[in-house]
Amino acid sequence: MPLHVERVSHRYGPVAALDSIDLDIADGETVALIGPSGCGKSTLLGILGGLLRPSAGRVTLSGALPADSLNPFTYVFQDFALLPWRTVEANVALALEHRVNAAERRERVAAALALTSLADFASAYPKQLSGGMRQRVGIARALVVRPAVLLLDEPLSALDAQTRELLMEDLLRIWSREKSTRVYVTHNLEEAARLADRVVVLSRRPGRIREIVRIDAPVSDRAAIIPDMQRKLWALIRDEAATADREVQDV
């Protein structure tokens, strides 16, 4: 189900956040959005998922939804966004309530928990879990509806380095088994180089597409090229990132 972004611009009052974004994302592709603070990465993600209506332009999906998909889009947030009074199983099931029957709900939740290595923690509460485990719950909750497009807003930014490494491995394993399209916002250039098929580099506000970098190496062969790819991506945003850091926080 290709995703088409056509001349999307957005303003917050007098502030121009995005300007004339054109982008096509292929079915099953992982696209990372990077750029200096304030370039509009999160704004673009919100527009893609329908949380924001663009000031100009449009986003369209072509083709029918997969037969088992309940949502065209769903999110994984950086702050986990779990309900503390619900168990892991109940948090994951939340997106299915009033939408599928009890038997299908149990089946989907069990599959999502197994896919994210949470089956043994179904009865635990968020306060009993580490940060990495809580983010796995957020990922399972997003996957349980089997979305056509998975939107990830800096999902690993709140985690320590070791946990982030483990979650990157988990995401690659999950993505090899389920075929949604992914759009991944990050400040971390290693994440972009390791996880994405293409990296969209946005300019300083108002965000425009400065360059699209394709990463052709298979995921299994990327270890050797990631340092060079990080340097290439940093060279594209370094000067603007330094300027943006003195101006505004991300929008």
Interval 223-234: pLDDT, tens: 889 999 999 999
Asked if residue 79 is part of any domain, the answer here is no
The helix or strand, by DSSP H or E, that contains position 138, with its residue range, turns out to be: helix 131-143
Q: Which of 68-72, 159-163, 192-196 has the lowest mean pLDDT?
A: 68-72
Asked if residue 53 is part of any domain, the answer here is yes
Same domain, 173 and 250: yes
Q: Single out the residue in 98, 124, 147 at which a domain terminates.
A: 147
Amino acid (1-letter code) at residue 207: G
The reported pLDDT for the residue numbered 231 is 94
Q: What is the reported pTM?
A: 0.91
The reported pLDDT for the residue numbered 246 is 63
Asked if residue 30 is part of any domain, the answer here is yes
Number of domains in the chain: 2
Asked if residue 73 is part of any domain, the answer here is no
Q: Residue 53 and residue 46: Cα distance in Å, rounded? A: 8
Pairing of strands 209-214, 181-185: unpaired
Q: What is the CATH classification number for the domain harbouring 9?
A: 3.40.50.300
Same domain, 129 and 245: no
Same domain, 7 and 40: yes
Q: What DSSP line would sit under 208-240, residue for residue? A: -EEEEEE--S-GGG-TTTHHHHHHHHHHHHHHH
Task: Give the mean model confidence (pLDDT) for residues 156-169.
Answer: 91
Same domain, 100 and 171: no
Do the Cβ atoms of 37 and 24 come closer than 8 Å? no
Interval 8-64: pLDDT, tens: 999 999 999 999 999 999 999 999 999 998 899 999 999 999 999 999 999 998 877
In the Cβ-directed half-sphere of 196, how many Cα atoms lie within 13 Å?
29
Asked if residue 77 is part of any domain, the answer here is no
Same domain, 59 and 125: no
Domain that holds residue 129: 84-147
Asked if residue 204 is part of any domain, the answer here is yes
Same domain, 156 and 216: yes
